[in-house]
Structure 1
């Protein structure tokens, strides 16, 4: 599961929560979403969303999106989700750390969603800060209810789970490891190390090739068995009669 390494120079140039890289050989572009989604809300922000969309649409190839984010601005997540869904080529989402809250919504836009074996996804109810009287509090509650329904829309499209089940998972602030995310439909598969030889059909915990080679090496280097040596002839005995005659002769010596 190779993740293209970025040079320190590129990391220093990063001025927002996303960064692009490209592979000249394959032509595939890679988008990195690291950290909080929109450090500051881009509500009524015309520049940031336009900048993101322009960079997204500047290429004409499949893209890979690496996500490691605790979440952030739900408005930004909603727009990024819509932009990725509208992108006319395949979008492969790869989660190497955590895709929590708003970041999990963005992940739902992937044509394919893959998670590292150690990665996590977390979904929960939206939250906000409200100030005012009871009427203002009721408006805030109603607003959060609608935001939750909008988020459920994205989860429902991806997973096929019922809205009631998704709502229950959000109520419980559910953390999912890779296997559970795949089981529930939030992810499509688990990232594998392409360097390993897994054989043809079944994945084993050992390398079939390494074991086979080791066996061949033992067979080749094993010394040939030594030629069987002829046992020396057993000592020739004498008959009982002859032995008795010799004993009788010794008596008179």
Structure 2
């Protein structure tokens, strides 16, 4: 600190220095940087016959009528708002009936993840989570956040966990701030995963230091899911 400068910079710990180094390298992984949702794919339409004629629904609205939410995109703020609204809507329709959240997602923004996670914890209905395809990064945390006993994976599902990281630029003090925030987010994620899997925070921290890839059987052994299901009947036997 220069003489006469009344503002002292916060002391930088080795842990923050390490995180700052990762941030300064510009390593942008899906946990911090929001990923835009794809808009160039066809959304099927379902036609239903009613007494008043035909009604058309996009497939996701039709699934919502069956209390099914489908997360099939990267997790960003836009997608989080949609899923939160769906969860709240289904709670208002029937607070005692399960909601099913199907997941096939590469992950995404950590703030969007926390928004969805907190909503899942907030609402009254149990939330079944089902991984079909993959649940990576933020999506893997949502998979683990389902109601205990109602977290499922299909036989060939893939689950990936890792620590949050991101890219930043600017003065060293700004990079330090971002590094501290990454560490705070990492600690929160580790605590959530430890609670949901039954592992210790130290074990989670060690395992997710690099990409931690699990198949369905390994995810069950690790405590991310409760059962592996190959058919609707198998799922119904568990949750009825």
TM-score category (smaller protein): 0.5 to 0.7
TM-score with structure 1 setting the length: 0.63
Moved over 6 A (4+): none
Aligned length: 179
The CA deviation at 1:50 is 6.3
Query: Would you say 1:89 and 2:125 are equivalent positions?
Result: yes
The partner residue of 2:181 within 124, 143, 146 is: 143
* SS of equivalent residue, structure 1 residue 171: coil
Gaps of 5+ in 1: 1-6, 197-253
Per the alignment, residue 247 of structure 1 pairs with: none
Per the alignment, residue 130 of structure 1 pairs with: 168
Gaps of 5+ in 2: 1-42, 47-55, 235-240
The CA deviation at 1:192 is 2.4
The partner residue of 1:21 within 63, 83, 86 is: 63
Q: Is the 8 A contact 2:73 2:106 kept in 1?
A: yes
* SS of equivalent residue, structure 2 residue 132: strand
Distance 1:48 1:65 in 2: 13
Distance 1:22 1:48 in 2: 12
Q: Give CA-to-partner distance per residue, 1:182-238, whole Å, 9 cap, x none.
A: 111111110123579xxxxxxxxxxxxxxxxxxxxxxxxxxxxxxxxxxxxxxxxxx
Per the alignment, residue 51 of structure 1 pairs with: 85
Distance 2:206 2:61 in 1: 34
The CA deviation at 1:39 is 6.4
Distance 1:20 1:166 in 2: 38
Structure 2 matches for 1:52-201, cutoff 5 A?
A: 52-60=86-94, 61-111=97-147, 112-193=150-231
Q: Is the 8 A contact 1:19 1:32 kept in 2?
A: no
Distance 2:175 2:124 in 1: 41
Distance 2:190 2:62 in 1: 29
1:150 to 1:128, Cα distance in 2 relative to 1, 3 A? same
Distance 1:90 1:195 in 2: 19
Distance 1:56 1:128 in 2: 34
Q: Is the 8 A contact 1:116 1:178 kept in 2?
A: yes
Q: Which has the larger radius of gyration?
A: 1
Q: Is the 8 A contact 2:91 2:124 kept in 1?
A: no
1:78 to 1:185, Cα distance in 2 relative to 1, 3 A? same
1:113 to 1:163, Cα distance in 2 relative to 1, 3 A? same
